[in-house]
Structure 1
């Protein structure tokens, strides 16, 4: 999972019909080194998300990954595909009839792997987790623990998770709430890194994500990241040719 799994920038004015676009800025969790920008373009109809495109732009202004999500069938479990052009890595979810299938391909030369699964609410996958959090925002902020299932295509498995409020930090000088999501299994919780998500308590939009990312490093391994959805582009991102937050600012070759 990564910031893009949950993202919806607080700095963005949401369009109930049409597109809303924004950026997230990815850093290594250890050391805080800038790694990439997530450029999001979200389409809504009557307030409901229908399509969501994410383009990941690296430190040379190049596209390092793309993701397309379709929420027309389920608001929290999208049909989606993520690709990493450099390696040929792919992952996602397909849906045909009553069958839901996770798929993964480790590289361009690797054999695709698949795993069928069943929708078992409350359940989320990829950025559908953002909608699930928003649906349960009152319960979380009142101190309740929310248990749910997460379809992790990158692992070809359905994971039991639980989320609860764990803090009230500030973000860009404003009050925020922090939720922590972790495995709902007592014996393995301490061995698996938890996910920390900071939200605006009024707009219910994600401000910051801390946890395992989904963009591989030069060795092909994913690593812990912090993705921050700042109101303004950080100078370090600007210096590395990050795209503007405006809709249409990214083309197929890079940051347009």
Structure 2
């Protein structure tokens, strides 16, 4: 098949969005409540077109001395079954975590490892597929997976003031390092409270108008992500990612409870 730059960059952004975890941006509202300990919360995913409920992200993360040490995300589908899991370790970097995401039904996995000073991104498309790997170096400002949230927080004031922030993103699902840029694109409200909207795009000339950007809504006071709109990171029945809206509501929506979503409390997955 001939090389098609538009198709390639669109696929690149789709993979990037999946790598950015929808889950990756999220953070608990009570984050400022203490420098150490565990925090837990949920995100609720709906189709971007139509608003149909699809799955719940259950987050459990730990901190020491104000820094995230590890973070677990469990994705629970409409039947109450676990469809994917992710574990992240932030001991080597607060913006580029070591992580692994697994989808047990398909055998898909991806992640980043850090051994003897060498950073490696890897992926496997299915249980029987060959594992792909690519080494890379940390070139700040740089992020991967949920480390993007810390990068946003580090530059929140600059984004709020209207500056465009450029950075690199290690996308294990694409086996490459991508140039991105983020900027403020407006204000809105979320659960009747003021909110600010940022977008993240590929930093490529004449490409951004051809591919979907990622829309991120934050609480400007707590710097907490309250809503994400863009390509999700869970596959549909055809094995493809699709556009979603993930909302981090304070209370569980009735549709999520009716579909077997876990409680936001710590330990609710293992206890269920």
Write out per-residue CA displacement over residues 142-169 of structure 1, whole angstroms, 9 at most, x where no aligned residue.
0100000011111111110000000110
Q: Separation in 1 of the partners of 2:153 and 2:247? A: 18
Q: Separation in 2 of the partners of 1:40 and 1:139? A: 28
| 1:88–1:14 CA distance, 2 compared to 1 (3 A) | farther
Q: What value does the CA root-mean-square deviation take over the aligned residues?
A: 1.2
| 1:95–1:41 CA distance, 2 compared to 1 (3 A) | same
Residue in 1 aligned with 2:26? 7
TM-score w.r.t. the length of structure 2 is 0.91
Residue in 1 aligned with 2:228? 209
Tell me, yes or no, if structure 1 residue 233 matches structure 2 residue 245: no
Residue in 2 aligned with 1:218? 237
Residue in 1 aligned with 2:99? 80
Instruction: Give the conservation status (yes or no) of the 8 Å contact 2:41–2:264.
Output: yes
Instruction: Give the conservation status (yes or no) of the 8 Å contact 2:123–2:173.
Output: yes
Instruction: Give the conservation status (yes or no) of the 8 Å contact 2:184–2:198.
Output: yes
Q: Separation in 2 of the partners of 1:9 and 1:20? A: 7
User: Mean alpha-carbon deviation: is it higher for 157-166 or for 182-191?
Assistant: 182-191
Q: CA deviation at 1:108?
A: 0.4
Tell me, yes or no, if structure 1 residue 242 matches structure 2 residue 257: no
Q: Which runs of 5+ in 1 are unaligned?
A: none
Hey, which of these two has a bigger chunk of helix by percent?
Answer: 2
Q: Separation in 2 of the partners of 1:241 and 1:218? A: 19
Q: Which runs of 5+ in 2 are unaligned?
A: 1-17
Q: Separation in 1 of the partners of 2:265 and 2:214? A: 28
SS at match of 1:186: coil
SS at match of 2:29: coil
TM-score w.r.t. the length of structure 1 is 0.96
Residue in 2 aligned with 1:179? 198
SS at match of 2:75: strand
User: Mean alpha-carbon deviation: is it higher for 63-72 or for 96-105?
Assistant: 96-105
Aligned length: 253
SS at match of 1:126: coil
2:70 to 51, 55, 70: 51
Q: CA deviation at 1:18?
A: 1.0
